[in-house]
Structure 1
Amino acid sequence: MLFATAQPLAAVADSAAPGEGAASNSARSGQGETPESLAVAEARRSGRDVNVPSLENETSEVVAKPDGRLAATVHTKPVRTRKAGAWRDIDTTLHTTGGGTIAPVATVTDLEFSGGGTRPLVRMSSAGKELKLTWPTPLPAPVVSGNTAEYRSILPDVDLRMTATDSGFTQLIVVKTPEAAKNPQLDQLKLGMTSADLTVRKETDGSLSLVDKAAGGTVFQAPKPMMFDSSPGLADGSGMPAQAPAQPKQAPAAPKQAPTAPKHALAAVEAAAAPSTHAAPVEVAVPKDQKSLVLTPDQKLLDAPDTVFPVMIDPDVRAPRAAGWAGISRYWDTQSFWKFSGDFGMGYCGDQGRCVPADVKRVLYSIPVQGQAFVGKHIQDVKFRAWEAHAWSCTPQPVDLFVTGGINSRTTWSNSSGVGSSSFWKEYLATRNDARGPASSTPPTPPRRPAPPLRPLPAPRAPSTPRPPDGPPRSR
C-alpha cells in the first residue's frame, strides 16, 4: 500500500502562449502588452521560467516557459496565503502571540488557539466573519509541538489536541483509559459558541455549515464528527488488509492502441468484513439560541469491553474550497472521509499492525479548472502529480489513475466502488510503478518527492468489462 497526502497534489497544464511576435503584434493593434506576453518575453530573454503574478492565487500559479508556453499548476489545497499585501507560503507552525494566544505562522484563515485559562479555545475568522468556541472549564497552558497545541488533563485522563490546518483546525478529544470513559462529563461535551456574523445550519449528512447572516454564503464547514479507538488501522487512518490477493500477470499492451486498464486495476477482492464496532459517528446539535455546540459521543463505543484505548473524538472546522478529495474504504463502506487530514493510504496494506483485515482503500481528487485563465488557450499537455509519502516495500507496485464520476462530502465506498456501480470509474488513464519503502532498505530519495510527470496519452477508451475498485481512509 502506498501512502500519499492530499496537500501537494496538483494538476499541471501547459498551454500555448503568444509567439515571439505577440508583443509587437499587440503594440501594433493598440492592445498593449499583457501580463502573459511580458512574462513570455522575459522567459525567452532569460532562458528561465517567469511567474505571472496577476494569475497567482491561493491554489494556483502560472509561469511562462522559455519556449513560449504557459504552464499553470492547480493544487487541491492552498499553498500560499496573502498577508500584509504579499503572498506567503502556508505555514501551520504554531507560535505564541503577544496577546497570550497560540497562532499559526500563515494560513488562509486568521486562527488563534487559547494560551490557557478562560480565553476562547479557538478564534477563527475569514473575510471579516469571526467564530469563537469556548471550552466549558478553564484550560491548562498548552504543550505546543509543530502545528499542534495539546491541553493535558482537561478531565482526568482526557487530553484535548488542537491542530492548525491550512484553512481551519482539527480537534481531538483523547480519552486515554476505560476509567476516564466512565466520566459523566463525557456523556455530552458542550462548547460555547459565539459569532455576530454567522448562523449555523445542520446539513442532511450531519455536517454543519456556518453561513454569513448577511450574504448567505458558507464561510466555514464542519464535517460530521467521528470517534474511533486505537485498534490497528484506526489510530492513523490506515486500515488495510494484511495481505493482498495474488495479482494476475498482465498481458503486454498492444502497440499503438489506447490504454486499457491492467488486470489488477479495479479487481474484486474477498467479501468485506463485518462492520466494525471500533468507530462511530458523534452526534452534534446546535440549540436554537446558537450559543453552543453540543457533541454526544457514542457511549457503546466508550463502554465496550473490546474498545482499545485511547479513544479519539475528532470534530474539525475549515473554510470551504472548490477543490476536494475523498478517501473511500471497503471496510468502512458507508463512511465518508471527505477532505481527510494527513496521510490516508491507498491499495492494500502490508503492515499487519496497522491494518483492518479485508480492507482496501482508494483516494479520489476533484481539481476545478474553471476560472484558471484557460479560456482562449490551446491546451497542449496535462500532467497529474501526487506525492508518495511511504510504502511498505521497496518493490515497485502499480498505482492506477482513472477518471471518475463527481465526488462530494457524501462519497463513500458503497456509492462509488461497490459492485454494480462500475459507471463511477469512467476511464482508465495510466499506471505508474513506484515504491517508497523503509529508509533502511530503500535507496534514499528526497523527502516528499513528486511522481514523475505522466507522458501524454492518446484518447483512452473505457475497459471492455469495467470492474469497480475494491475497499476507512488513505490515497490513490
Structure 2
Amino acid sequence: MTAVLAFMLSVAPALNSQAVASPALPAPLGSPELRASAAAVAAGERVEVVEERSERETVFANPDGTTFTLEKSITPVRVAREGKWVEPDPTLVRNTDGSVGPAAAAVDLSFSAGGDAADLVTIAKGTQSVSLGWPGALPAPRLDGEHAVYEDVLPDVNLILTATVEGFRQVLEVKTPEAAANPALKAIEYRFGAENLTIQAGAGGGLDALDGNGRPVFRSPAARMWNSAGDGAAPAQAQRSLYLAAPAESGTDEPVAAGPNEESDRLAGPGPGDDSSVMDLKLTD
C-alpha cells in the first residue's frame, strides 16, 4: 500500500495559447519590426521579430507587409538562461553551491542537498521568494529526471520534490501500512519563509504569497492525499504544490497547474480508483 501527501508551488502563465494578427504600427526606419516585415515580404512567408521574444510571446511579421501576428502561450515556450533564450527543461542538476535545481526554468528554484532542512525548497522570481523548511535533517537526494527523492525521512516514508518549469510539487510517499500508522504523519509542521511577500491562506485550503499591493505572486492549491486503491502495487501519496500566480490581465483567480501531468506519473495526483481527500492546513506565527 502507498499513500501520498503533496504540496505544489509555482508561477502561472498569462493567457491561453492564441495567435492574433494586428495592423502594423508605424515603426522607426531600420527597426527590428521594419526589417522583419521587409524580410517577410521578400520571402513570401512570415518572419519572427526576434527582438520581441518573451517567455510566452512570439511576434511574427506577416508577408502582406502591413500586419504582425502575436502568439501567446499559457506556459513558457522559452526561458532566459545566462543571457540567452533556451528551451525549458525541468531536469534536475546539481549546482556549484551543492544545491539542486532545474536546468532551465522560469523561476529560480533550489532544492536542499541534504543535511539541515531549514531550506528544503526556495522558489524566487526577481527579489520575491518563498522558502519551505522540513522539520528535521534530510539525506542527500537521489536525482531522477525532474524528481529529487529523499529516502526514509521517516520509516518507510520518502519525501519527493518534483521541479516544473514554473514551480514545484512536494510529495510524501508512504510505502507500508505500518508507516501510515506513524503518529508523526498526523500533522507535519513545515517552516515557511518569505522575502518581499506575505503568506496567507488562500481559497479552497491553499496558500497565496502576496506582494505589497495584495496581488498573488505565488499560489498553492489545497494539499491532497490519496491511496493506492486503484493500483495495489503503488504506494500512497500526499501532495502540495506551489506555482506562479496568474497575472491580472488573465482575468482569472483560478490556480494554474505547475506543469503538465503525465497520466502515468503517480506523483502528479490520484489515479483511477484511488481514494483521495483534501488535507487541512493551519498557518501559525
**TM interval, short-chain normalised:** 0.7 to 0.9
3-state SS of 2:140 partner: coil
The answer for the alignment partner of 1:173 in structure 2 is 172
Structure 2 CA distance, aligned partners of 1:310 and 1:324? 38
Q: In the superposition, relative to structure 1, how do residues 340 and 164 fare at CA in structure 2: closer, same or farther (>3 Å)?
A: closer
Q: Which runs of 5+ in 1 are unaligned?
A: 1-6, 19-25, 236-306, 327-335, 346-353, 358-476
Corresponding residue for residue 202 of structure 1: 201
Secondary structure of the 1:205 match is: helix
- Once the two structures are TM-superposed, the CA of residue 49 in structure 1 deviates from its matched residue by 3.8
Name the amino acid aligned to 2:36: A
Residue equivalent to 2:245: 320
Q: Which residue of 2 aligns with 1:268?
A: none
What's the offset of the Cα at 1:130? 2.1
Q: Calculate percent identity across the aligned residue pairs.
A: 32
Distance (whole Å) between structure 2 residues aligned to residue 16 and residue 33 of structure 1: 18
Question: Tell me, what secondary structure is at the counterpart of 1:190?
Answer: coil
The whole-number CA distance in structure 1 between the counterparts of 2:225 and 2:238 is 4
Q: Quick one: distance in 2 between partners of 1:125 and 1:202? A: 19
| Aligned position for 2:155 | 156
Amino acid corresponding to residue 194 of structure 2 in structure 1: S
| Cα distance change on mapping 1:137 and 1:90 into 2, 3 Å | same
For residues 137-286 of structure 1, the aligned pairs below 5 Å read: 137-212=136-211, 214-232=212-230
* Corresponding letter in the other structure for 2:223: P
Q: Verify: 1:104 aligned to 2:102, yes or no.
A: yes
* Greater Cα radius of gyration, structure 1 or 2: 1
Name the CA distance, whole Å, in 1 between partners of 2:252 and 2:239. Answer: 18
Residue identity in the other structure for 1:217 = R
Letter in 1 for 2:244: A
Over aligned residue pairs, what C-alpha RMSD do you find? 3.2
Give the aligned partner of residue 74 of structure 2.
76
Alpha-carbon shift at residue 158 of structure 1 (Å): 0.6
Structure 2 unpaired stretches of 5+: 1-12, 264-270, 275-285
The reply on whether 1:342 has 2:267 as its aligned counterpart is: no
- Cα 1:343–1:109 change in 2 (3 A) is closer
1:140 CA displacement: 0.8
Match of 2:9 in 1: none
What residue in structure 2 maps to residue 55 of structure 1? Answer: 52
| SS in structure 2 of the partner of residue 36 of structure 1 | helix
Secondary structure of the residue aligned to 1:314 is strand
From 8, 12, 18, the counterpart of 2:19:
12
Report which structure shows greater RCO (CA 8 Å, sep ≥6): 2
Give the letter for the 2:150 counterpart: Y
Q: Distance in 2 between matches of 1:325 and 1:156?
A: 42
Match of 2:5 in 1: none
Q: Which amino acid is the alignment partner of residue 53 of structure 2?
A: E
Give the deviation of 1:13 after TM superposition.
3.1
Note the C-alpha offset of 1:150: 0.7
Counterpart CA distance in 2 for 1:325 and 1:148 is: 30
Contact 1:117 1:139 in 2 (8 A): yes
Contact 1:112 1:123 in 2 (8 A): yes
For residues 137 and 167 of structure 1, what CA distance do their matches in structure 2 show?
27
Q: How many residues align?
A: 250
Equivalent residues of 1:76, 1:324 under 8 A apart: no
Structure 1 residues 15 and 337, CA gap change in structure 2 (3 angstroms): closer
Shift of 1:79: 1.8
The CA deviation at 1:180 is 0.5
CA distance in 2: counterparts of 1:355 and 1:184, whole angstroms: 28
8 Å Cα contact 1:200/1:209 also seen in 2: yes
Q: If the length of structure 1 is used for normalisation, what is the TM-score? A: 0.47
Offset of residue 230 of structure 1 = 2.0
TM-score, with length taken from structure 2: 0.76
Match of 1:116 in 2: 114
Partner of 1:129: 128
- Matched residue SS, 1:315: strand
> Which structure shows the higher strand fraction?
2
